[in-house]
Homo-oligomer: A and B are copies of this chain.
Amino acid sequence: MSNSKLYKGSLNTIILKLLEESDKMYGYEITQKVKEITKGELNITEGALYPALHKLEAEGLLDVEMLKVDNRLRKYYKLTEKGTKETANRLTELEEYIRTMQTIINPKWSIQ
């Protein structure tokens, strides 16, 4: 996750949201997906991604499944039931954050 100091704290929410849509994904796939949908604006670094995935797994929000594809091991992650509920919470928080920041950026619009 480079190119900006503003993304701090949102990586976990991004991961959860992508898994909510795609059912199951592996790490490298997540980096490519984010690069694609943000048209290269957001590049998640491995040093940020893998520890984040391990932490979400440790918290019981993700399940892991190893699959060998083309003689290479992929570590697929998917949301647990707890993870699905938590994803909804995190997305609500992110939406609130965005609304709050827009209030600050655009104070004229925020007055009623």
Contact = CB atoms under 8 A, between A and B. Distances in A.
Interface in A1-22: 4-10, 13-14, 17-18, 21
A104 B34 contact: yes
B41 A104 contact: no
Chain A contact residues (Cβ within 8 angstroms of B): what range? 20 to 34
> Chain A: interface secondary structure?
helix
A42 B96 CA distance: 11
B4 A7 contact: no
Interface string A79-105: 000000000000101111110111111
8 contacts: A4-B97, A6-B13, A37-B103, A37-B110, A38-B103, A41-B96, A42-B100, A98-B102
Shortest 6 CB-CB distances between A and B: which pairs? A8-B8, A5-B9, A6-B97, A8-B9, A6-B9, A38-B100
